[in-house]
Amino acid sequence: MTDAQTKTIDLVARYYRAFNTGNVEGMLDCLGDHVVHDVNQGERRVGKEAFREFLAHMNRCYTEQAVDLLVMATDDGARAAAEFTILGAYQVTDEGLPEARGQTYRLPVGAFFEIENHRIVRVTNYYNLKDWVAQVEA
């Protein structure tokens, strides 16, 4: 493994450690100022402030943990991918989605990253929204 791969894998793992502890500032510290955030089934957001707003919304509606994390990186460390499972609870109804009643869910997730100057400059997340809806409607 190259030094660049190791640094990128460590950066992405740090990002998810911050996610799992609810450390918003720790997550933001991993990002470049003009980070591009592509949300599954959602609008593209650009910049740390937009990312902060997204996290505030998510933390209000959901409680989540990323488990079984596997991070891979290119030899040059410029791109990375993560595969994990989200264990979550749906706490507050999110606009356009089923009513929240504290339902729990378990989803496989894939995430893709671009890295520049030891910061994440793009995050793209993918999961099966239909599977999530089926779980919270059950």
Domains in the chain: ranges and CATH: 3-137 (3.10.450.50)
Closest C-alpha among 81, 108, 83 to residue 8: 81
d(CA 72, CA 103): 31
Q: What is the pLDDT of residue 20?
A: 97
Q: What is the pLDDT of residue 41?
A: 77
Q: What count of Cα atoms within 13 Å lies in the side-chain half-sphere of residue 54?
A: 20
Per-10-residue mean pLDDT of the chain, 138 residues long, equals: 96 98 96 94 91 95 98 98 98 95 97 97 95 95
Would the pTM of this model clear 0.85, i.e. be above it? Answer: yes
| 37 membership: H or E segment, kind and range | strand 31-38
User: In the 3-class helix/strand/coil scheme, how is 93-134 assigned residue by residue?
Assistant: CCCCCCCCCCEEEEEEEEEEEEEECCEEEEEEEECCHHHHHH
List the beta strands (DSSP E) in 60-102.
62-73, 79-90
The pLDDT, as a whole number, for residue 126 is: 94
Phi and psi, residue 21, nearest 5°: -100, 5
pLDDT of 45 reads: 94
pLDDT at 40: 82
9's CB contacts (< 8 A; 6+ apart) are 71, 72, 73, 80
